[in-house]
Each structure stands twice: as C-alpha cells, then as structure tokens.
Structure 1
Amino acid sequence: MTIKSESVWNYVESPSIDGIIKAGGYFLIYFFGMFLASKCLPSIEARSPKKTYKLTGFYIFILLTILIPIGYYTEHLSLLFIIKNFISFFIVINIFTILFSLYLFQREEAIQNAPNSNRPIDYWHGREKDPMLFDVDLKVFFYQPSLIGLALVNLSLAEAQISLYGTLTIGMILYQIFWYLYLLTHYIREDFMLWTFDIIEDHFGFMLVWGDLIYVPFLYSIAGWFVADNIHKPLSITWLIITIFLHFIGHYIFRVSNWQKFDVRKYGSKVKIWGKQVKLLEGRLILSGFWGIGRHVNYTGEILLYLSIALCSGTISFVPYILPISLLILLSQRASRDDQRCRTKYGEKIWGQYCQVAKFRMIPYIY
C-alpha cells in the first residue's frame, strides 16, 4: 500500500514509549468512561431467551450525538489525536485485550464455572457465558467501546481531511452519514443483539474481546482513510447515485430482515410483517416479509451496506473493497452451511417446502 506525500497517513506518528503511555491514558479514560456510563445512565430493560438485561447503549449514543457537535462548534473538542496515535492505540488496545482476557480467564467466578478448563482454547473462547462486573454484563457492555470507538475513529478521519486539505468531500460526508445511520439503527433496536448467537451461546474470552476492541474499530474504519485522501478524484454524479441507492437498499434489507426474524422469535405468530399477519410454515419457518423471498437476504443486505461504504472512496485503492469482498465469500459459504444445518434441523420435507417459497439463498436467479 503506497502512502502519498500528502496524505492523512502522514498524521500517524511512529510509536514511542511516550506515545504508547499517552495512548494508554486516553484509552483507559475512554474505556472506564464507557463503563461508568453503562453503569450510571438510565437503562432500557430488555429480555433475551435466557435473562433480562439493562441496556444503556442508546442513551450513550444519543448523549454523544449531542455532545460531540457542541464540542466541535465551541472548539473545545478535537479528535485528531486518534489519528496521530493510531499505531500506539493499536498496540495498547491489543495489550489490554490480552490482559483483560486473562482476567476473564482467571477470575474466581470463571474458575468456579469451569474448574477443568485450563487449555489455551479455553482462554480463546472464555470460561463464562455471562461474566458480570459491578452488575454490568461484560459481554453486552463491550459493544459500547467497540461501536462508539468506530464512530470516533471515523470522525477523526473527517477532521483530518479538513485539517490537511481544507475541505470535506462528498465522499466523506456520505461515509459519515452511512456509518451514523448504521449505528443509529443498531441502537434503536439494541435488544436485537440479545437474541444473537454471540450473546446467547458464546462464552466471553479473547476471541470476542479482540473482535470488539480491535476488529470492529480498526478494520471497519479502514475505508475512511482512503475516503479522506480521495481529494483529486471526485465521485461522479452517477457514482454517487449508485452508492446512495445501494446503501439504502442494502441497509433496509439488512436491518428489516433481521428485525422481522427477531420479532417473530420474540413475539411469535401475533407479529405483523408489512402490515399483514405473519405466515409460518409448521409454526416455525417464516413465509412473510424478506424471509418469504429469500433464505438469507439479510446477508445480501449486509454485503451491499459495506459495499456502499467502500464506494465512498471511489477508485483510489482496492483496500476498502476487501471487507465487502471477503464478506461476500464468507457469507456465501455460511449461507450454504446454514441451508445444510436447517435441512437437518427441520427435516427434508419441511425445508423443501420452505425452499419452494423462498427459492434463492442470497441473489435472485443466481445463488
């Protein structure tokens, strides 16, 4: 990857002892601030299939939506330090991830929960499903520093573009809008995540801690670096129209299909989808909404969503397209595995009947 002489990458400082200490201080203030907010802010009570949670993510998100613009307007806030210390943050947060996962592995409750789980694989997956600290569910809490961290990195890239080039491009504006809407639609139905496999079944160890603190904020923001540097190749009107169209179509399919399935799982056959009473096959498989069209259209929507974010960078580099391309490969394989699993779970006859209604997996007439 070539870095141009004039580039936001040039803001990034080489890691040093002082830089790592500074980044460590910033991160700990941020992390414990998020924890205190999760502990002290008003909460929304929500149930999962196994227990009741108190969710504060929506209030944290709305509070920051108000405070960050005020901070920028009054010139009391700058997030350029995130870009300047990006490598130091990466080092610090990886170290924190290793140590925090060790804490999860060695804490008394974990040992009592799985006294014979001492293998490296148990450190990777974790010993406990629902570790609690000061009445805060850690697995649910870690979504906050993860997703809010992604938002802060994205904002720092917009600030870097203004600082370096003196402008905010259409591509960067769309990039910020797309990610904001992604987070907003997550938080307005935050209880959805309580019904996901990660929350219900997974143990909480290094794999999920690293995914929350490193994978999401560092990898998902990678396109923003190229959006920030795309100054000399402005996006055409046609490109912009396609990008906006793909985003809103993909975003709608991704969220609404998942919400439809979630609502049926939570409330059963009394749910209405698109204004009509939900239809169920054998009381189990949804024949309404997106699930009566395709078997895994939520994956299709997710790929289109991330593709639209990559398109905000134009053709400046192939790197932003690695995420949607990798998701296309991984989710296509997952859709095939899901079909096999469902065929075993529901039986050849019932699954065959469902496939007669929802005829394709992800792409009509193709896959």
Structure 2
Amino acid sequence: MDLGVLLRSLIPSLQSVYVLVSYFVYLAVAGELLPGKVIRGVVLSDGSQLRYRCNGLFALTLLVAILGISAKLGIVSPLVVADRGLELLSATFIFCVLVTLVLYITGRSSSDKSSSLKPHVSGNLVHDWWFGIQLNPQFLSIDLKFFFVRAGMMGWLLINLSILAKSVQDDSLSQSMILYQIFCALYILDYFVHEEYMTSTWDITAKRLGFMLVFGDLLCIPFKFSIQAWN
C-alpha cells in the first residue's frame, strides 16, 4: 500500500467517529436497561463492594440481531467496519488518549476517600496517566473498567463478522477463515456466558484505570486479536 494512502486512511472520517460513538452509546444504554444477573464484586479495602450487571450476552445477541436486520434492509452496510478498519483503529486510539487524559485530570482533582475513587498519585505524569489514578472510576453510574473490556470483546466479534461478510461478498471465503470465525466466536461467547467471573479478575480488582488498560481493552483486544482475519 502506498504510504500516502496509508496515512490518509488513518485519518478518522465523520462516519468512523459516528460508528464508534453509536457503538459506545448502545453499550451504555443496553448495559443499564437490559435485564441481567447483578453480581457483587470483591470486597475492597474499605469494605465496599461494587455491583455489576452481567447482561453482556443479551446485549451482544441483541446488537448482532439489530445489525443483521439493518443490513438485510439496507440500512447499514455489513462492510462498514471492514472497509473503514484503519479509520476506526485511529479513531479508537484517539478516544483512548482523550478519555485517559480526562481520567487523569478528574483523578488528580478527586478528594474521594473510597477504595474505588481514592486518587493514587505518584507525582510522575506519565506514570499516573499510563497506570491510572483511580481503581474504579465511573461515568453516569457506569463502571468504566467493566464497560471497556465488554466493548473490546464485543468489538472483536463485530470486526470478525464484518470481515466475514466482505469475504463472502468478494467470493474469497476460505476454510481457514471459517475455522478462525468459529473458534473466535466460541471464545467470545464463552466469555459472555461466564461474564460474572470477570468481576474477580486482577484487572478489575487491583489495577487502576489508565491508558494501559483502556488501550488494551479498546484497541488491543478487538484490533490486535483480529489480525488473522485481516490477512
């Protein structure tokens, strides 16, 4: 690929930003409104426990159904992700940088004493931005750490499905692609079937939310894990 074309494709278009924002809005609304098992998290150092609504499987199934019907009706192109992969990659990266800068600023200014929101400031800007300042920051009552990992896992499947649709359209569907799609789908579905176990993992219970986790959840999981499909 020509370097100039590559660089231009990394500039997010309005459509790619719209796709990303719409995706996050759907996850936020679905996560709050759809029924699901409410799990208590581990007991934190101050004795508190966060609550997590584990409705990811329902949210994922509903989203795939909505997108499938919309594609059938010609409302949404099933190739929108496959055709704008680099744009979505760069848009997601920019989002990761911006949201972690906001987390850094709000964390630094927080005077909360709870285990979830108590600021842990080292004094090193890069260190605090990279590793995070607060353990479980929230936005509009949404636990961001749980939200981001869910977004990454669902995004991985949506990328795969869009690439699968492109392979079918181009008549280039191979046996290796079919096997890749099956194994990834099984892995992702298994995650959401047992989503409640995520609430006791090290990332959720011990790591503060900074660029490292946000980047890993939103960019590494969906885009890095789907590299095989892009080839």
Same fold (TM over 0.5): yes
* 1:48 pairs with 2:41: yes
Deviations 1:73-106 (A, max 9, x none): 4444423121222221121111110010011111
Mapping for residues 264-275 of structure 1, pairs under 5 Å: none
Aligned equivalent of 2:157: 151
Picking from 22, 39, 52, the partner of 2:15 is 22
Aligned equivalent of 1:337: none
Aligned equivalent of 1:128: 134
* 1:210 pairs with 2:211: no
In structure 1, C-alpha distance between the alignment counterparts of 2:127 and 2:204, rounded to whole Å? 19
- 8 Å contact kept, 1:14–1:87: no
How has the CA–CA distance of structure 1 residues 108 and 127 changed in structure 2, closer, same or farther, with 3 Å as cutoff? closer
The alpha-carbon deviation at position 111 of structure 1 amounts to 3.0
- 8 Å contact kept, 1:47–1:191: no
In structure 1, C-alpha distance between the alignment counterparts of 2:173 and 2:56, rounded to whole Å? 29
- 8 Å contact kept, 1:153–1:217: yes
Say which SS state the counterpart of residue 9 (structure 2) adopts. coil
Mapping for residues 1-367 of structure 1, pairs under 5 Å: 14-15=8-9, 19-50=12-43, 51=49, 52-107=51-106, 111-112=110-111, 113-114=118-119, 116-119=121-124, 120-164=126-170, 166=171, 168-226=173-231
Quote the RMSD (CA, aligned, Å).
2.3
Aligned equivalent of 1:304: none
Code of the aligned partner of 1:199: I
Code of the aligned partner of 1:70: I
In structure 2, C-alpha distance between the alignment counterparts of 1:58 and 1:16, rounded to whole Å? 31
In structure 1, C-alpha distance between the alignment counterparts of 2:190 and 2:76, rounded to whole Å? 26
- 8 Å contact kept, 1:110–1:128: no
Deviations 1:229-284 (A, max 9, x none): xxxxxxxxxxxxxxxxxxxxxxxxxxxxxxxxxxxxxxxxxxxxxxxxxxxxxxxx
- 8 Å contact kept, 1:157–1:225: yes
Aligned equivalent of 1:260: none
The alpha-carbon deviation at position 147 of structure 1 amounts to 0.9
The alpha-carbon deviation at position 222 of structure 1 amounts to 0.4
Say which SS state the counterpart of residue 128 (structure 1) adopts. coil
- 8 Å contact kept, 2:10–2:90: no
Say which SS state the counterpart of residue 142 (structure 1) adopts. helix
Code of the aligned partner of 2:188: L
Structure 2 unmatched runs, 5+: 44-48, 112-117
Code of the aligned partner of 1:162: V
Code of the aligned partner of 1:82: V
Say which SS state the counterpart of residue 82 (structure 1) adopts. helix
- 8 Å contact kept, 1:57–1:144: yes
Aligned equivalent of 1:262: none
The alpha-carbon deviation at position 175 of structure 1 amounts to 1.8
How has the CA–CA distance of structure 1 residues 79 and 195 changed in structure 2, closer, same or farther, with 3 Å as cutoff? same
Please say which structure displays the higher CA radius of gyration.
Answer: 1
In structure 2, C-alpha distance between the alignment counterparts of 1:14 and 1:115, rounded to whole Å? 39
How has the CA–CA distance of structure 1 residues 47 and 80 changed in structure 2, closer, same or farther, with 3 Å as cutoff? same
The alpha-carbon deviation at position 220 of structure 1 amounts to 0.2
In structure 2, C-alpha distance between the alignment counterparts of 1:110 and 1:58, rounded to whole Å? 36
Aligned equivalent of 2:114: none
How has the CA–CA distance of structure 1 residues 212 and 108 changed in structure 2, closer, same or farther, with 3 Å as cutoff? closer
How has the CA–CA distance of structure 1 residues 170 and 110 changed in structure 2, closer, same or farther, with 3 Å as cutoff? farther
The alpha-carbon deviation at position 69 of structure 1 amounts to 3.7
How has the CA–CA distance of structure 1 residues 61 and 110 changed in structure 2, closer, same or farther, with 3 Å as cutoff? farther
TM-score between both structures, scaled by the size of structure 1: 0.54
- 8 Å contact kept, 2:56–2:192: yes
The alpha-carbon deviation at position 43 of structure 1 amounts to 2.8
In structure 2, C-alpha distance between the alignment counterparts of 1:139 and 1:161, rounded to whole Å? 33
- 8 Å contact kept, 1:111–1:127: no
Say which SS state the counterpart of residue 46 (structure 1) adopts. strand
In structure 2, C-alpha distance between the alignment counterparts of 1:183 and 1:115, rounded to whole Å? 33
Say which SS state the counterpart of residue 45 (structure 1) adopts. strand
